[in-house]
């Protein structure tokens, strides 16, 4: 599949090409004609000249039509994501379903009146006036997305911008650009006017960095690693910033947990999407009273997560994004083993594929406990009680999400109050959400500004306040 970047709805021509390889078999998945400095400038100018916003009805209709087109092409998109990311087809079907929800919810939100009103005659200082608010689109937003959900991350930037009426320039990951560009085509086909969207890939200095620095850009919405997010925060200057960064999410399993639920959540949270979710379970903190039985059951359960050809519907764990990422994961496991941890299941690598891996007795100061490892690893750390679990959970620089498995309401409430992160899910994986609920982290995982369709629409607008005699 040979694709090109878009400036204001028009495909660019360029001699510079990016080849995209299938991480499972090394075959060519496609290519992209790359943009440069001039295209970046043209995209900003096009966004700024987008003109009067579409009506709410028009925005909602475009989003709904895009959803219908995506549902008709579900199989095509699922296979495309699999071909460039190595994620198994089971997961990529699920991802298309999620992106379809994003479009559905954004279409609904586009119709909703988001203004407030305040009567002013409510205090001795007041008078007979009324104050109103309305939300206005930004003149130009920039979004930058990672590789791990090649469609859904892109949908979470584009759909809120369309619902808000904000022109947007999106820079997808160069590891998974084909899905993003195909999705842009679909959005134009659904009726979005060209100047409302440009999609660019190219050398960082000519595209991403120029977009981030440009004072005409009013918002940079970035999802990706902590290192790149912090660099963007330094270079963006005076503009709105949304940073959704890495995570190191714990699943806390207490001794009053339903063990079957705990094992199911630990396996799903660690291995789904090849462990490449910002909110994947990256540390399993298990109460010492049940650690033995929990570990035995998790090892048995891990056998269900068949690793293999990502296009095989029976495969539950495809590759990670590339061989370098798999080699890194192997190193992290070996380091933990060197510090006394034991691999009880998996751990073997072939090319970009690393088996779902259960590792027990992991010391608390190992790299895989302190830092984010982006792959199907399930490291188990034994804790004394809930206080100890909370201390370990809060001990890293990250603060994205968390899960707690317990049947005791007091424990649940204590965990919700004391875990320093953006989300606490009781008896669910850290990643549980619906596409419109507020989502996002604190500390190194983000600035605390939430995404999710409703919050993202707010970020893509500014509030104007006006008042009238009444």
Q: Is residue 32 a contact residue for ligand NAP (CB under 6 A)?
A: no
Among 58, 101, 174, 258, binds ligand NAP (CB under 6 A): 174
Q: Is residue 372 a contact residue for ligand NAP (CB under 6 A)?
A: yes
Q: Is residue 398 a contact residue for ligand NAP (CB under 6 A)?
A: no
Helix boundaries (H) for 140-207:
152-164, 177-189
Written as one string, the DSSP assignment of 394-454 is TTSS--SEEEEE-S-HHHHHHHHHH--SSEEEETS-TT---TTS-B---GGGB-S--BSHH
Rg (CA), the chain: 23
- DSSP label of 30: E
Say whether 421 is catalytic: no
3-state secondary structure of 167: coil
Residues between 431 and 450 that touch ligand NAP (CB under 6 A): 441, 445-446
Question: Looking at beta carbons only, is 174 or 388 nearer to ligand NAP?
Answer: 174
Question: CA nearest 349: which of 322, 310, 380?
Answer: 322
Question: Looking at beta carbons only, is 6 or 374 nearer to ligand NAP?
Answer: 374
- Please tell me which residue in 5, 88, 140, 278 is annotated as part of the active site: 278
Question: What are the angstrom distances between the C-alpha of 261 and each of 122, 283, 331, 347, 385?
Answer: 52, 17, 31, 24, 19
The single residue listed with the structure tokens 């809060």 is 394
Stretch that binds ligand NAP, among 53-61, 105-113, 143-151, 406-414 (CB under 6 A): 143-151
Question: Looking at beta carbons only, is 166 or 248 nearer to ligand NAP?
Answer: 248
CB of 381 to ligand NAP, least distance (A): 20
Question: What are the angstrom distances between the C-alpha of 12 and each of 3, 74, 129, 201, 386?
Answer: 10, 27, 53, 11, 56
- DSSP label of 55: P
Stretch that binds ligand NAP, among 54-62, 122-130, 173-181, 425-433 (CB under 6 A): 173-181
Q: Is residue 180 a contact residue for ligand NAP (CB under 6 A)?
A: no
Q: Is residue 104 a contact residue for ligand NAP (CB under 6 A)?
A: no
Among 59, 175, 239, 283, binds ligand NAP (CB under 6 A): 175
Question: Looking at beta carbons only, is 276 or 406 nearer to ligand NAP?
Answer: 276
Q: Is residue 244 a contact residue for ligand NAP (CB under 6 A)?
A: yes
Phi first, then psi, for residue 162 (nearest 5°) are -65, -45
- Please tell me which residue in 206, 244, 435, 455 is annotated as part of the active site: 244
Say whether 244 is catalytic: yes
Q: Is residue 173 a contact residue for ligand NAP (CB under 6 A)?
A: yes
Stretch that binds ligand NAP, among 89-97, 203-211, 346-354, 382-390 (CB under 6 A): 203-211
Among 148, 198, 355, 396, binds ligand NAP (CB under 6 A): 148
Among 70, 154, 212, 326, binds ligand NAP (CB under 6 A): 212
Stretch that binds ligand NAP, among 68-76, 201-209, 328-336, 389-397 (CB under 6 A): 201-209
Question: CA nearest 219: which of 159, 169, 153, 184?
Answer: 169
- Rounded Cα–Cα distance for residues 456 and 460 (Å): 6
Asked if 154 and 70 count as a contact pair (C-beta separation under 8 A), the reply is: no
Asked if 146 and 157 count as a contact pair (C-beta separation under 8 A), the reply is: no
User: Which chain residues interact with ligand NAP by CB under 6 A?
Assistant: 144-148, 171, 173-175, 204, 208-209, 212, 223-225, 228, 231-232, 244-247, 278, 372, 374, 400, 441, 445-446
Residues annotated as part of the active site: 244, 278
């Amino acid at each position: 599949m040979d694709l090109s970047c878009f400036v204001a709805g028009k495909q660019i021509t360029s001699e510079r090409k990016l080849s995209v390889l299938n991480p499972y078999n090394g075959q060519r998945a496609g290519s992209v004609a790359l943009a440069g400095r001039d295209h970046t400038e043209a995209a900003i100018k096009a966004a700024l000249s987008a003109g009067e916003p579409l009506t709410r009805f028009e925005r909602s209709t475009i989003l709904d039509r895009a959803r219908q087109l995506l549902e008709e092409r579900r199989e095509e998109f699922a296979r495309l994501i699999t071909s460039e990311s190595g994620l198994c087809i089971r997961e990529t079907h699920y991802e298309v379903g999620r992106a379809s929800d994003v479009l559905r919810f954004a279409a609904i939100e586009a119709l909703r009146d988001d203004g407030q009103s305040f009567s002013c005659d409510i205090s001795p200082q007041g008078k007979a006036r009324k104050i109103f608010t309305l939300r206005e689109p930004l003149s130009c937003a920039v979004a930058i997305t990672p590789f791990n959900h090649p469609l859904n991350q892109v949908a979470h930037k584009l759909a809120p911008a369309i619902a808000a009426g904000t022109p947007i320039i999106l820079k997808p990951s160069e590891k998974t650009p084909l899905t993003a560009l195909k999705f842009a085509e679909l959005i134009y086909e659904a009726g979005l006017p060209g100047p409302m969207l440009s999609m660019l890939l190219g050398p960082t200095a000519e595209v991403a960095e120029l977009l981030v620095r440009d004072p005409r850009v009013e918002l940079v919405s970035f999802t990706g690693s902590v290192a790149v997010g912090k660099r963007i925060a330094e270079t963006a200057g005076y503009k709105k910033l949304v940073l959704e960064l890495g995570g190191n999410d714990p699943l806390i399993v207490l001794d009053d947990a339903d063990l079957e639920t705990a094992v199911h959540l630990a396996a799903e949270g660690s291995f789904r999407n090849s462990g490449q979710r910002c909110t994947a379970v990256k540390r399993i903190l298990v109460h010492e009273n049940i650690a033995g039985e929990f570990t035995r059951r998790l090892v048995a359960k891990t056998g269900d997560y068949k690793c293999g050809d990502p296009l095989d519907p029976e495969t539950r764990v495809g590759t990670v994004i590339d061989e370098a990422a798999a080699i890194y994961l192997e190193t992290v496991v070996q380091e933990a083993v060197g510090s006394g941890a034991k691999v009880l299941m998996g751990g073997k690598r072939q090319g970009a594929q690393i088996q779902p891996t259960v590792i027990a007795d992991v010391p608390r100061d190992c790299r895989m406990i302190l830092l984010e490892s982006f792959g199907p690893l399930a490291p188990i750390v034994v804790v004394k009680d809930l206080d100890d679990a909370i201390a370990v959970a809060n001990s890293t620089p990250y603060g994205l999400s968390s899960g707690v498995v317990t049947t005791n309401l007091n424990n649940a409430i204590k965990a919700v109050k004391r875990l320093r992160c953006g989300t606490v899910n009781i008896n669910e994986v850290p990643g549980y959400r619906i596409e419109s609920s507020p989502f996002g982290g604190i500390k190194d995982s983000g600035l605390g500004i939430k995404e999710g369709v409703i919050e993202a629409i707010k970020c893509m607008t500014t509030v104007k306040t006006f008042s009238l005699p009444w």
